Structure 1
Amino acid sequence: MSGRIPSRWEERVAADPAHSTWYVERFRALTAQGTDIVGEARLVDAMLERGSRVLDAGCGPGRIGGYLHRAGHVVVGVDVDPVLIEAAEQDHPGPTWLVGDLAELDLPGRGIAAGFDAIVCAGNVMTFLAPSTRGAVLAGFARHLAPDGRAVVGFGADRGYEFPQFFADAEKAGLSVDVRLSTWDLRPFTDGSEFLVAVFSRAA
Structure 2
Amino acid sequence: MDTWKEITARDPEHSHNYAKRWENIAASGQDIYGEARLLDALAERDSLIVDAGCGTGRLSHYLAAAGHRVIGVDIDPVLLEVAANTAEDTCTWVEGDLASVEIPTSEADFVISAGQVLTFIAKEDREAVLANLYACLRPGGFLVAGFGAGRGFEFPEFFGIAQKVGFERYQEFSSWQCAPFEPDSDFLVAMMRKPA
Range into which the TM-score falls when normalised by the shorter chain: over 0.9
Aligned residue for 1:40, secondary structure, equals: helix
Residue in 2 that maps onto 1:88: 83
Question: 2:65 pairs with 49, 62, 70, which one?
Answer: 70
Matched, 1:202 2:194: yes
- Per-residue CA deviations over 1:85-127 (Å, capped at 9, x if unaligned) read 001011133211111110013234xxx45x1011000000000
Q: Within 5 Å, give how 1:29-48 maps onto structure 2.
A: 29-48=24-43
Question: 1:145 pairs with 99, 119, 137, which one?
Answer: 137
Deviates more, 1:139-148 or 1:73-82: 139-148
List structure 1 segments (4+ residues) > 6 angstroms apart after TM superposition.
none
- Per-residue CA deviations over 1:24-43 (Å, capped at 9, x if unaligned) read 00111111111100100011
Q: Within 5 Å, give how 1:20-31 maps onto structure 2.
A: 20-31=15-26
Over the matched positions of the two proteins, sequence identity in percent amounts to: 47
- Per-residue CA deviations over 1:10-56 (Å, capped at 9, x if unaligned) read 11011111110010001111111111001000111011111110000
CA contact (8 A) 2:140 2:195 kept: no
Residue in 2 that maps onto 1:4: none
Give the Cα separation in 2 of the matches to 1:98 and 1:66: 14
Q: Within 5 Å, give how 1:85-164 maps onto structure 2.
A: 85-94=80-89, 95-108=91-104, 112-113=105-106, 115-164=107-156
Give the Cα separation in 2 of the matches to 1:116 and 1:65: 14
Residue in 1 that maps onto 2:51: 56
Deviates more, 1:194-203 or 1:91-100: 91-100
Aligned residue for 2:177, secondary structure, equals: coil
CA contact (8 A) 1:180 1:188 kept: yes
Aligned residue for 1:190, secondary structure, equals: coil
CA-atom RMSD in angstroms? 1.2
Name structure 1 gaps, 5 residues minimum: 1-6
The count of residues paired between Structure 1 and Structure 2 equals 194
Aligned residue for 2:188, secondary structure, equals: strand
Residue in 1 that maps onto 2:164: 172
